[in-house]
Amino acid sequence: MREDLLDTFPTYGNNELFTIKMYHSGQLSEDFYVGGKVDFFDYCDKDFMSLLEVDDMVEELGYENVFMSYQYRIPGMEIRNGMKPLMTHSDVINMCKFVPNHTLIDVYIEKITPKEYVSQEMKFMKSFESVAQSRVVIEELDEERPVQVNRGKGKLAIEYPVNGLAGEYSVPSQCVTQVVKEVADEMGDRVVGE
């Protein structure tokens, strides 16, 4: 962690590395981060960055057992319209998509009340409602089902019956086909690959 803006800013020869400029101990307003401090976390690797890494940075700043809100600013945009939440691993991946074009990413953290935290979590959980209402049937396959093997042009198709599908969700001929690549082993025999 680097605390001083005047310290040498690293030049990254590696396209995967970047710096997080973390604003903390202040308040986010519509246009500014008011008060607080700024610390820098250099040599962050976008391929290994996760929400846990951000949590570790926040803990290193001394924020333990406190409800916090994390956001990042899209590089080149203003606070007013460029702020994005940093609540999930997907959010971290989206933030890292700006690297290597931008090697400095601004992250803003704020203390929030337990009530604000619960509200934030409820909004997050509601974002999954449409996924939970999908009509996908997931069925675990066991070894005892009859399997029909069809060979053709370097691929192996395995068909197995599906039980419990009816009406508009039925699969034609009540079978699911899984296509598996076929490869030759060291003896030249054809075996099923991944």
Taking the model in full, what pTM does it have?
0.61
- What pLDDT score was predicted for residue 187? 53
- What pLDDT score was predicted for residue 37? 93
Q: Pull the structure tokens for residue 30.
A: 């519509």
- What pLDDT score was predicted for residue 72? 97
- What pLDDT score was predicted for residue 172? 44
Four-way CATH pick for 17-132: 3.10.20.90, 1.20.1260.10, 1.10.12.10, 3.40.50.300: 3.10.20.90
What tens digit of pLDDT does each residue of 4-45 get? 655 677 888 888 999 999 999 998 888 888 889 999 999 999
Sequence ranges of the chain with CATH classification 3.10.20.90: 17-132
Given a cut of 50, the residues of the chain with pLDDT beneath it are: 149-160, 164-183, 185, 191-194
Task: Measure the CA–CA gap between 130 and 27, rounded to whole angstroms.
Answer: 33
Task: Measure the CA–CA gap between 185 and 142, rounded to whole angstroms.
Answer: 26
Task: Measure the CA–CA gap between 100 and 179, rounded to whole angstroms.
Answer: 38
